[in-house]
Structure 1
Amino acid sequence: MKKSTISLKTTLLTTILVVCFLSCKNEKKAEDVKKEVLTTYNEENGGTLCLSEASWFPHSQTPPPAEGKGSPFDVSSTTNCIFHQWSWQKFLWVTKPEGDLPLFLNQKEIIQVTDAMEPVVQQAGASVVLTDTIQAGFSHGILKVNPAYNSATDKALTVHYSIHTSLIMQESAEAFKAALASGKLPANNLETFPVGSLELKVSWVDVTAIPNDKLKDYYTTTAAVINKDGKTYTNTNVALLGMHVVGVVENHPEFIWATFEHNDMAPNYDWKANSASSATEKLLFAKGSTTGLDGITFIKDDKPVLASKAFDLFQYGVPVTASGYMKTSQSEPENFNNIKEINASVAKNLKDVWQNYFYNGSIWIDTDSLTPLQQAQKIVKLGSSISAATPGSSARGSLNCANVTMETFTQTFQSNISDINVKNLANCFSCHSPISFAGNTSPIYLSHIFDAYIQSSEGKSKKEIDLMKDDQHKKISEFLRTLK
């Protein structure tokens, strides 16, 4: 099939599915009908199916993705593609314009919160408040841009972060907190956040880090940036660099952990050449090349081992070696190709500034054929092994999922690049397990901001909570380093 007919075919497929769901309800299960249609479609189109939908465009009209009952996730056997489609559509939905701001900054359906899930007091004249510069992980990494990217400024400016949640998740968190405090809900439990729960983490930098001729390719807004006194703010024009989109869909209380990046920030590591390189200056990577992990390893004194040499360890978070894809809990290159295909499909249809951002993968776990109770039980039973990517494990998607602006220095916990293998891959679940900072277990503790919210409600200070996080991250790092 020619590329020019793909969108039409996809639209027809959607129509056929809807008709079949309605008219075949009494003769066959809708799920079986859907499988038959998808099989026929795949056979006709050489197996290519992971594309954007016509209904997502124009971006100003992107609807929220179907994610509850009757959605593509409301089946006993899922496909890899639907997770990537949800990720892209959710990103487009939260970034679609609503007046002068994208939806995620309107403080209506989605609100900005602290890393302990408390609502952030917005500042006059700004659309977002920026107080945080420290990355996750006990190394307390701070990311600074390549000063040569904008020679006119020539400053290694610091990347900032904001966190946002849906009202659905915020309200659920408040209910869980009350139940835990009253004793109606034990600290060890099988509760899960409801469908529609959403967390966003967004990275930003002062626009002066970017050359004027390239600034048009970034989403920019006004942020209230905290001053050194820790009390006052300065309104500053900032550019959006990356975004985590983390949400609950039907049958997946572990959340889908998706990530997006601007396309002019850093190269991917070339495992065949054993180096990362760029012929031009990039925002996080100085022109030239580097070998090994120095560019993504943080040390003390506010700097990495090698400055301005940050890179994505694995393209789309798909683990490879010099000889090809690693043997993991799923077969490749299906996941890799699906991400590549849907990125191209979206880019072709987007007409605004967001066409300069790409989807770098997502991760979830296999919950096919499980009831909601069994899903929760599985998450708790997996515990810290929920991140495992070895054959037979439950993790699916981009098994070394990371964002170069947020997990710059935790893309791996190994000291040498030659030590990285399928046993010690790092991903979102490496840190976001069902084990709380206090050692309790529940699917709701997968959210660190919720965990911190509970610890704070029990009287612990931010410093005490941060130490608990550090201790947990250090144990994870030490454990993964033993898996050679």
Structure 2
Amino acid sequence: MKYYLIPAIISVSAALTLGSVRKSEAQTACLAPSAWTSHADVPSPDNATAPSSNCAFHVWAWNTFLWITQPGEDGKLRFQTFATLDDLFSEDTAATRFSALPKEKVLELTVRVNKSFEMQGLDSILQAGTRGALVHGPGMDSGRALYYSQNVDPVFYEFIRSNKYYQSDQYASAPADTNFPIGAIEFKYSWRIVEEGEDTSTFFVTPAEIFLLSEGTDSGGNKIIVVDPKETKTVTVALVGVHVVGVVKDHPEFIWATFEHRNNAPDLPAGMSATSTDPVSDREWTFYHANTAAKDSNHNPATEMKLVDADKQLLSPVVNVFRAFSFGGGSQENIANIQSLNESVQTKVLAGSVWANYMLVGGVWSKPDNVSPGEAITPQLGSVSLANTTMETFDQLFPGVNCFACHTTSGETMGSVQLPAKNMNLSHIMTNGFLRQLTAGK
């Protein structure tokens, strides 16, 4: 995804950007359904019904987020049981049913690339483009990189596996106008390492294995930082961001929604330039040091990144982050709906839950049935400047830039390998899997 208070509910800086939208309007514009009396009572999302309003799209996003964070009988949260990318691209041709997958999964995380099949032949974190990596501070974990994971729901998994689209030749020959089925959902998660003794009471935390970073050299002899797919370490991580991307009736372009922990980063105050010498906020955030100037924030460290402590896996320089567009911008109605829905869900459905500390940043979509191979997805509706501060840190400064800037139906090329234009290219899981399988000699 391209790749940018009622106490403990909505950030003060976010509320300041509402301008002329009155608090009373924001509170009544968009509410959680009355049947959502608790987290456990939230049903699975109704993907077979097309959203009929701006509010309905955002309700779908919250519905999906609440559904995946519900615990199962084994105590695991639903999203923890979903198919990983290793599952999706497994060479086991008989593994077509989600129910046959092992339920015990180890969360494996990397800095820029995800899962072992993506690391073959692509082990430099700087080869992800000029986006670099988010190295965060302040606090106990200052100098730590952020880590990522991805998975897909059963509908997505079984669609790909039953059609053998995990095989590069089958994916290449798929009809260009083939769409993902209704209910196919993919997820991307951002995690930060938790230090011993740290207060994590407002975060969802879990054990994970991280692939370690080390120094290497590129073909020109220049030092670079690489991911070692053979060296891992078990750590505790806290969830700080989630992309929720799914197909519902009449919307094969996916609804692109994103959530963040409420303390991730401040919003750029209304009227302040991203190059201002004024501070964005006077308080500490997870990814922003109090009183840092706007001009000194959101800097891409790709060309100057160093591994300063291999044992502790500490990097420099630290990146200060602000959110360029509160709730992803869009109309005043869009902003008011998200603010009101966040408050409704967090106070009514999630009262007393750790999940009340997470907020919907926004969602973006297009008009019904508006996908064609090689054609741009326009118009873009909802949060038209949507970004997640932990996933699109360096690409969020321009109005009107959102997920559809990168997620397109156009063809792609990597070296001598070419992928024709097709609707399913909207998913980078599929395009990356295709290109990396071929360039790795699979």
The TM-score normalised by the length of structure 1 is: 0.68
Match of 1:111 in 2: 83
Name the SS of the counterpart of 2:195 in structure 1: helix
Matched, 1:301 2:304: yes
The alpha-carbon deviation at position 60 of structure 1 amounts to 2.7
User: Cα deviations across residues 12-65 of structure 1 (Å, max 9, x unaligned)?
Assistant: xxxxxxxxxxxxxxxxxxxxxxxxxxxxxxxxx999441112333421332111
Of residues 274, 283, 288 in structure 2, which corresponds to 1:285?
Answer: 288
Distance 2:240 2:34 in 1: 26
Correspondences of 1:101-180 after superposition (within 5 Å): 101-105=76-80, 107=81, 110-113=82-85, 117-118=88-89, 127-133=106-112, 138-146=129-137, 148-150=138-140, 155-177=142-164
Amino acid at match of 1:212: E
Question: What is the Cα-based RMSD across aligned positions, in Å?
Answer: 3.4
The alpha-carbon deviation at position 131 of structure 1 amounts to 2.7
- The higher relative CO (CA closer than 8 Å, separation ≥ 6) is in 2
Distance 2:260 2:358 in 1: 5
Amino acid at match of 2:285: K
Of residues 379, 382, 398 in structure 1, which corresponds to 2:371?
Answer: 379
Asked whether the 8 Å contact 2:71–2:78 carries over to 1, the reply is yes
Distance 1:119 1:348 in 2: 42
Matched, 1:435 2:410: yes
The alpha-carbon deviation at position 212 of structure 1 amounts to 2.7
Match of 2:329 in 1: 318
Match of 1:361 in 2: 362
Amino acid at match of 1:358: M
Asked whether the 8 Å contact 1:245–1:258 carries over to 2, the reply is yes
Of residues 190, 194, 198 in structure 2, which corresponds to 1:212?
Answer: 198
Match of 1:92 in 2: 66
- CA 1:293 to 1:439, structure 2 compared with 1: closer, same or farther past 3 Å? farther
Higher fraction of helix: 1
Structure 1 unpaired stretches of 5+:
1-44, 320-331, 368-374, 387-392, 413-419, 465-484
Matched, 1:266 2:265: yes
Asked whether the 8 Å contact 2:26–2:337 carries over to 1, the reply is no
The alpha-carbon deviation at position 394 of structure 1 amounts to 1.1
Distance 2:88 2:104 in 1: 23
Asked whether the 8 Å contact 1:137–1:410 carries over to 2, the reply is no
- CA 1:101 to 1:91, structure 2 compared with 1: closer, same or farther past 3 Å? same
Q: Percent identity?
A: 29
Name the SS of the counterpart of 1:235 in structure 2: strand
Distance 1:181 1:233 in 2: 29
Name the SS of the counterpart of 1:149 in structure 2: coil
Amino acid at match of 1:447: S
Of residues 375, 380, 388 in structure 2, which corresponds to 1:403?
Answer: 388
Distance 2:238 2:102 in 1: 18
Name the SS of the counterpart of 2:183 in structure 1: coil
Structure number with greater Rg is 1
Distance 1:258 1:405 in 2: 14
Tell me whether 401-410 or 122-131 shows the greater mean CA deviation: 122-131
Name the SS of the counterpart of 1:97 in structure 2: coil
Distance 1:240 1:140 in 2: 21
Distance 1:142 1:79 in 2: 36
Asked whether the 8 Å contact 2:304–2:317 carries over to 1, the reply is no
- CA 1:119 to 1:264, structure 2 compared with 1: closer, same or farther past 3 Å? farther
Match of 1:340 in 2: 339
Distance 2:103 2:249 in 1: 38
Amino acid at match of 1:94: I
Distance 2:361 2:264 in 1: 13
User: Cα deviations across residues 94-134 of structure 1 (Å, max 9, x unaligned)?
Assistant: 111224321100x2xx22225x95369x9999741113435
Name the SS of the counterpart of 1:433 in structure 2: coil
